[in-house]
Structure 1
Amino acid sequence: MIQTINFAHRGASAYCPENTMASFRKALELGADGIETDVQRTKDGRLVLIHDESLKRTTGDDRLVKDVTYAELAALDAGSWFDTAFADERTPALEELLALVKDKGTIINLELKNGVVFYPGIEEQLIEAVRAFDLSEQVIISSFNHYSLALCKQLAPEIKTGILYMEGLYRPWDYAATLYADALHAYKYAVLPEWVAEAAAHGIAYHPFTVNDEAEMVRLLDYGVSGIITDYPDRLNALLAKRGATAE
């Protein structure tokens, strides 16, 4: 029986401020075997893990990620917006997460946030970092920017890619083949059991997002998805453990 990958969305973001080291560490504690996070770049060229192009929501700063240096970003409190107990949390550099999982076997889903701000050359930079940590086998690169995914596959055929999309992509397994992509990171409602089966027959995995309701988790597990992206890795871990025990 193939184990479904339990991807913690921005870490264990239901319990800790998203895309912080606290959130990533908590995800591992709660049973996640995958971590999903977002990659952008600072003004001085550092790859950092943050979802929004603006710093406003998570740090209170009105600037954009692209307009601050790494030192400026690292000085900002990225935890208090969630809870004052996390006031010491900062927006991490990519290398901090790669170092955390280096010897753990954790799958890392790195989403390139380059649909609004394009960050020229970010694909090469990300791949260089992944290879430097010898993590090519543990990484999936995803993006809503499918041109970027195609480029990543050209640059690094050995690193898996996942196509992010929201709604009714027609025969997505055929589309994935045009990008040489390995997975479909579909919004949770854009998944049907027959599509999962057809994609699997073509060697394409489904990793739907963002699935927090247990009934929805069960539905998608019954469909046979290869992974689920969730804010609650503990909920998914409990369901997977229960299904594993039942199967034995």
Structure 2
Amino acid sequence: MSGNPDLSRRQLFFTAAALVGGVGLAACQGVGPVAKPQGILQPGATTTVEGLLSRTPFYVAHRGSGDNWTEHSMESYAESVRLGVGALEVSVHATSDGVLVCHHDSTLKRLTGDPRKISQLTHADLAGLSLDARLWLGPASKPQTIPDLKDVLDRFAGTQVIFIEDKQGTNTEALLDLMEGYPNSTEHFIWKQSFRGAHTTTVQSRGYKVWGYFDADQAAQFAAIVPTLDLVGLPVDADDDLFRRLVGYGKPVMAWEVHTRSQRDRLSELGVRGMMCSNIPYVCRDKALHSADTFASGLRAAGDLPSDLEKGWGVQPIIDATAGSVTIKTPETSGYLLGSLCPIAETNYSLTVDLRWPVWLPKPQQYAAIAFGQLTDQSDAAATGYYLALQPDGQLGLFSGGPGMQGGTLLGSMQTENLQEQGWVSLTIFVNPEEIRIVRDSNPEWMLQIKNAADRGGYISLHKGYPEALPVQFRGITVAKVDGAA
């Protein structure tokens, strides 16, 4: 069977490569073996600063693990602790009448729609507002209240480590006084601040450790500032050499925001010890959480993530609980990692995906794709996987990639029936160690069988392969063990 000349192999390769952000492991020169996360989550355990820093790696729930629950809400903190995370990151602002509350942004616009600053509002004003993360987490995510810092500390300061940051920079004394009201407070608080923070000496004089974080363009400040800090940090997207330089100072290095397992593994290989993690249920485990999609819940499952995370909440595909589906409709080519189903551990398995274009069919050269067999959940894992692309004329093509290649290699294709507007198509992929078999709509006449054993990674993703906002919808995604040969 021959390939379709309308489907650019290079285009397909780079579309699949748009999977969730990360940096290639091939470029890493590790300082030691990657520490896997078994035993990291310890439900019910009390964690101290000393105990936390004795772990490699150690995990902190960034904003309470904002990929999974509404950030900086009591729910996010409580759910992270319920899972067994040892440390929480808490950002703090003061209202106009001096009440300390938990929130990251200086304004309330992103999470409540109110554009005013917290510093302009009274505590009573905040009581009428709700945190709404449905755009990011899914339509079933429930609105949350903005918690008072004291309520959060009353609940967690005795059992967890709290990384606490004064986002306004004007509440140092009030925060330190509040912290000291808790038993053994220096065992449960770490002060978080930008490396420019002016309070290092004051905080350390009262017995607390200070974590100072740098941006990727601030390496010139390392020599002067790092010796004054107890822990140091960089953003995840800082390059490998920058992390190595910071690790070389001998202080515990932390990175933020860690969303994926491949980010965790890359950072561990570079000597980073602390993971400021937004995706605790997924990153802290190495097993699949589900065997079928959970779109009908109306919530994004832990591990499912859009490509181009740096573009913010607007790139999250639309979850429809009634239809039990997810729809990708960003104006760029984009992908959606199904990390909740990964890694697929079975040697012989089937992967079933239903898809359709719910408005109208795309142009003949355009397509949707299912990527599978990827070694990791990082973006350039596309070079190690397979991509099953479907065009509106019914053409199916299976492509593979390879490290360093400039495009995918067509392994085989077949012509099936033209797609119908708004009509669903079911694709089932059977994988065993020697071959891959693809069937459309359970029709044995539409079967593509290919002998290929090159890539058997455990990660899968969905893709929209064209730079237009025409939506493509997916549902019914299941992974099942198959006995014997596929």
Name the TM-score class by shorter chain: 0.7 to 0.9
1:1-248 alignment runs, 5 A limit: 2-79=55-132, 81=134, 83=139, 85-87=141-143, 89-104=144-159, 106-114=160-168, 118-119=169-170, 122-134=171-183, 135-144=185-194, 146-150=196-200, 152-153=202-203, 156=206, 158-168=207-217, 169-170=219-220, 172=222, 174-177=224-227, 180-190=228-238, 192=240, 194-200=244-250, 204-239=251-286
| C-alpha separation in 2, matches of 1:38 and 1:126 | 11
Q: Which moved more, 1:140-149 or 1:222-231?
A: 140-149
Identify unmatched segments of 5+ residues in structure 1.
240-248
User: 2:244–2:271: 8 Å Cα contact kept in structure 1?
Assistant: no
Shift of 1:10: 0.4
Query: How far apart, CA to CA, are the structure 2 residues paired with 1:174 and 1:51?
Result: 28
Identity %: 22
Q: CA deviation at 1:92?
A: 0.9
Larger Rg belongs to: 2
User: How big is each residue's C-alpha offset from its partner over 1:80-111, in whole Å with a ceiling of 9 and x where there is no partner?
Assistant: 65555422x2111111221221332x221112
Q: Which runs of 5 or more residues in structure 2 are unaligned?
A: 1-53, 287-486
- Pairwise CA distance, 1:212: 0.8
* Partners of 1:32 and 1:234 within 8 A in 2: no
TM-score using structure 1 length: 0.82
| Counterpart-to-counterpart distance in 2, 1:173 and 1:233 | 33
Of stretches 34-43 and 143-152 in structure 1, the one that deviates more from structure 2 is 143-152
Q: What amino acid maps onto 1:148 in structure 2?
A: A
Q: Distance in 2 between matches of 1:24 and 1:13?
A: 10
Instruction: Give the Cα separation in 1 of the matches to 2:203 and 2:133.
Output: 38
| Cα contact 2:260–2:283 (8 A) shared by 1 | no
2:355 aligned residue: none
> For 2:163 and 2:56, how far apart are their aligned partners in 1?
17
Shift of 1:79: 3.5
Partner of residue 244, structure 1: none
TM-score, normalising length: structure 2: 0.43
Q: What is the DSSP-based 3-state SS (H/G/I as helix, E as strand, rest coil) of the residue aligned with 1:148?
A: coil
Moved more, 51-60 or 134-143: 134-143
Deviation at 1:31, TM superposition (A): 3.3
Over 3 Å counting, the alpha-carbon distance change for 1:80 and 1:14 in structure 2 is closer
- Structure 1 Cα separation of the partners of residues 124 and 132 of structure 2: 17
Is the 8 Å Cα contact of residues 124 and 155 (structure 1) preserved in structure 2?
A: no
1:194 aligned partner, one-letter code: R
- Structure 2 distance, partners of 1:198, 1:96, is 39
Report deviation, 1:142: 1.4
- Which stretch of structure 1 is more off in the superposition, 132-141 or 35-44? 132-141
Give the structure with the higher percent helix: 1
- SS of 1:147's equivalent in the other structure is coil
> Counterparts of 1:103 and 1:155 in 2: how far apart (Å)?
22
Distance 2:221 2:93 in 1: 30
Q: 1:126 is matched by which residue type in structure 2?
A: L
* Post-superposition offset of 1:229: 0.7
Pairwise CA RMSD of aligned residues?
Answer: 2.4
Helix, strand or coil for the counterpart of 2:114?
Answer: coil
Partner Cα distance (2:93, 2:195) in 1: 13
Question: What is the CA-CA distance between 1:78 and the residue it aligns to?
Answer: 1.5
- Deviation per CA, 1:14-54: give whole Å up to 9, x if none: 11111000011111233321111211110000111101111
Residue deviations 1:206-230 (CA, integer Å, cap 9, x gap): 1110111211110111223221111
CA deviation map 1:122-168 (0-9, x unaligned): 01111111111232222111122623333543652x11111122114
Separation in 1, partners of 2:255, 2:102 = 21
Q: Where is the strand percentage greater, Structure 1 or Structure 2?
A: 2
In 2: Cα distance, 1:43 partner to 1:12 partner? 28
> Is contact 1:30–1:237 with CA below 8 Å preserved after alignment?
no
Instruction: Indicate conservation of the 8 Å contact 1:10/1:231, yes or no.
Output: yes
